[in-house]
Structure 1
Amino acid sequence: MKIKAAVTHGQGQDFRFEEVELAAPKANEVLVKIVATGVCHTDAVARDEAIAPLPAVLGHEGSGIVEEVGEGVTRFAKGDHVVLSFAHCGHCDNCLTGHPTVCETFNDLNFGGTNDDYTHRLSKDGHSLSTFFGQSSFGTFAIAHERNIVKVDKDVDLALLGPLGCGIQTGAGTVLNRIKPEFGSTIAIYGAGAVGLSAIMAAKIVGCKTIIAIDVHDSRLELAKELGATHTFNGSKVDVVKEIKELTNGGTKYAVDTTGVPPVVRQCLQALRPLGVAAIVGVTPEMNIDVHNDLMAEGKTMMGVIEGDSVPNVFIPELVDYYKAGQFPFDKLVKFYDFEDINEAFEDSKNGVTIKPILKIAK
């Protein structure tokens, strides 16, 4: 079938709208009419650093309506409302023990440019286009394996839900699924973007007593307070480690870094109390740490977390329930854009004008 897609032809190039060919779903695959899709930093990295083969149709926070199911699909039917999430094999040890975010073939399936069977569904003039995250949601339709599709309630605005498939579940899941802070504990969240603010909302849900947000934009820190932060620090104006240690009488028990900025990562370690735990979710370049003083000497733990260590078919419906109950108002992070304004949305995301852009695709 012919679909409209925003195609990335070369590294760092703007998206170009083109008519491309989308093949029919194969066994265990689902054809989804994309209603909307979030804009994530990982899409920008794929465009600008070519971490996936190009040309490609990017996009990996899609939400839409099931249009057709392939042979063997039993969990979905035409008309279902769904969110698309990351691809995983479903049968390696990590997938089978509830950790699909560290699937043994995660990189191949999400960044390798093909579908689950290592073939292509997208093409242009007879030439293959790469798929991204097993979905490629920057198009009017997408095909995904049933494993990375999540059915959601029809009484919630479907256009809002796409970011639950990646950025939102990354922040919230890191808190709720991985570090699991105790009621009344202290936590610092470094970076008040979509991922960080989701972590703040999750920390409030579990009852953290002290929730500290750190950013360099005062407007984002104000929103952090609205969403549950008890204290905020502008990292460009104060000594963050000193302020946190004074506030918490020695440091926080938990920390989440969403920035990937090496000096900030070190701050999050240094502002922990002894036996504290830091989860790193930002894409961080090579950096140096003082293992003795920053970690070992005080028994601290530093861990990496992908996609919030989530099982999407379990966790995303839970987030929707929290949203419906008024406990997870992630709609406050969002600004909607027309699909045709995709390049503007990416620019606004880069410049911090918009925390979480969502492209509305279906008219």
Structure 2
Amino acid sequence: MAEVSRRQMKAAVVRQAGQPLQIEDVTLEQPRRDEVLVRVVATGICHTDIVVRDQGYNSPLPAVFGHEGAGVVEAVGADVTKVAPGDHVVMSYAFCGKCRSCETGHPAHCVNVFPICFGGSRLDGSISIEDAEGKPLHDHFFGQSSFAQLSLANENNVIRVPSDLPLEMLAPLGCGLQTGSGAVLNALKVRPGSTFVAFGAGAVGLAAIMAGKIAGATKVIAVDVNPERLKLAEELGATHVINSRDGDPVAKIMEITGIGADFALECSGRPEVLRQAVDCLGFFGTCGIVGAQPIGSEVPIDVNGVMIPGKRIMGIVQGDVISDIFIPTLIEYYRQGRFPFDRLIKYYDFADINQAMEDSESGRTIKPVLRIGTV
């Protein structure tokens, strides 16, 4: 049988660490038996895309990144039953589906998370994208590489979403927004009447603030250095805000709570802030870590300050959620007016991807979303 022709498309390519992405003409394989070909309508830009661009994580280059994609199913492999051509989908993180973590309901903590999400290929080592000269480009970033007009995802990591909501708005649900809200509602299990602190009021932190309100926390505290973001945090549900440039945030949290926080979430990706998130906890408090830091980052911890009060420190990936269940839940919260995540988004044309990344790094934009195609 003759080989099916490859698909032509444009993709944003990272060729050198820390350098601007280049929009290039590339080609993409047709879907394999368990894969879904998605025509990308939009994709969010996440802090992790910037970390890998700068090689804070050692994903191989040259590569096509992007992992908050949303679009329309164009074609499916022979074994795919979950979605069909024409379906609207959000793409989330990839997982093997076979390891102990996956089989016990924690696919975000798949034991193959690094090779399957950051390895630059499928788990079998194969690559599906080639540049204009026929040379391979590393792909399958988070199982999607959605900085492109087309994406090959696995059946595992596509989530069908309602067609009456804009795909460009839904795109960031696949990573940053489910990470912040999932960390609160699913991993930390913030309870009614408790105190919750989000360190960092970016997209992840503000999603966590909204989720803290949904969870029924009576004190929801946002910590950041950006006054505009702190103002937005108040509008989205924070009962208290702290600008850490104005003084020691740990002391201020102790003043607000009297005994320390029940829950804290470190969303900034800064080691010194993680120490503050641990120090602000009260007895039996729990600190979750979601902020991506370069590989090898270390944080000094007061051992007795953790042991004696019975504090917990929890690593959290993607909110430890099952996206097939959690993303529809977030959409329902949005419809009810309880999770207005659209207020975090600013849209950019695909050609302006480098400006969008710069605006994200500088804090000018909370959640950049690239418009890539049309429905």
Work out whether residues 129 and 138 of structure 2, in 8 Å CA contact, stay in contact via their aligned partners in 1: yes
Tell whether 2:299 aligns with 1:287: yes
Work out whether residues 14 and 61 of structure 2, in 8 Å CA contact, stay in contact via their aligned partners in 1: yes
Task: State the partner residue of 1:123.
Answer: 130
Query: Which of residues 336, 339, 343 in structure 2 aligns to 1:325?
Result: 336
Tell whether 2:108 aligns with 1:96: no
Tell whether 2:319 aligns with 1:305: no
Q: Which amino acid aligns with 2:27?
A: E
TM-score, normalised on structure 2? 0.95
Q: Secondary structure at the match of 1:213?
A: strand
Q: Cα deviations across residues 298-317 of structure 1 (Å, max 9, x unaligned)? A: 11111110110011111111
Query: Which of residues 17, 24, 49 in structure 2 aligns to 1:11?
Result: 17
Gaps of 5+ in 2: 1-6
Tell whether 2:247 aligns with 1:238: yes
| Aligned pairs for 1:6-45 within 5 A | 6-45=12-51
Q: Which moved more, 1:266-275 or 1:79-88?
A: 266-275
Distance of 1:239 and 1:19 partners within structure 2? 50
Work out whether residues 31 and 69 of structure 1, in 8 Å CA contact, stay in contact via their aligned partners in 2: yes
Query: Which of residues 131, 150, 167 in structure 2 aligns to 1:141?
Result: 150
Q: Secondary structure at the match of 1:161?
A: helix
Distance of 1:349 and 1:74 partners within structure 2? 37
Q: Cα deviations across residues 264-307 of structure 1 (Å, max 9, x unaligned)? A: 211111111111111111124212111112x0011111111011
Q: Secondary structure at the match of 1:162?
A: helix
Distance of 2:38 and 2:144 partners within structure 1? 9
| Aligned pairs for 1:1-363 within 5 A | 1-49=7-55, 51-124=58-131, 125-131=133-139, 132-284=141-293, 285-293=297-305, 295-363=306-374
Shift of 1:116: 4.4
Work out whether residues 44 and 346 of structure 1, in 8 Å CA contact, stay in contact via their aligned partners in 2: yes
Shift of 1:244: 1.1
Q: Cα deviations across residues 179-201 of structure 1 (Å, max 9, x unaligned)? A: 11111111111000000000000
Work out whether residues 116 and 134 of structure 1, in 8 Å CA contact, stay in contact via their aligned partners in 2: no
Distance of 2:118 and 2:351 partners within structure 1? 25
Q: Cα deviations across residues 34-86 of structure 1 (Å, max 9, x unaligned)? A: 00000011111111116211111110000000000011111111110000111
Displacement over 6 Å in runs of 4+: none
Q: Which amino acid aligns with 2:70?
A: S
Distance of 2:29 and 2:148 partners within structure 1? 13
Work out whether residues 275 and 299 of structure 2, in 8 Å CA contact, stay in contact via their aligned partners in 1: no
Q: Which amino acid aligns with 2:244?
A: G
**Equivalent pairs, count:** 362
Distance of 1:336 and 1:265 partners within structure 2? 31
Q: Secondary structure at the match of 2:79?
A: coil
- In structure 2, relative to structure 1, the CA distance for the partners of 1:187 and 1:263 (3 Å cut) is same
Shift of 1:223: 0.4
Gaps of 5+ in 1: none
Q: Which amino acid aligns with 2:373?
A: A
Work out whether residues 116 and 145 of structure 1, in 8 Å CA contact, stay in contact via their aligned partners in 2: no
TM-score, normalised on structure 1? 0.98
Work out whether residues 215 and 221 of structure 1, in 8 Å CA contact, stay in contact via their aligned partners in 2: yes
Shift of 1:319: 0.7
**Identity of paired residues, percent?**
50
Q: Secondary structure at the match of 1:126?
A: coil
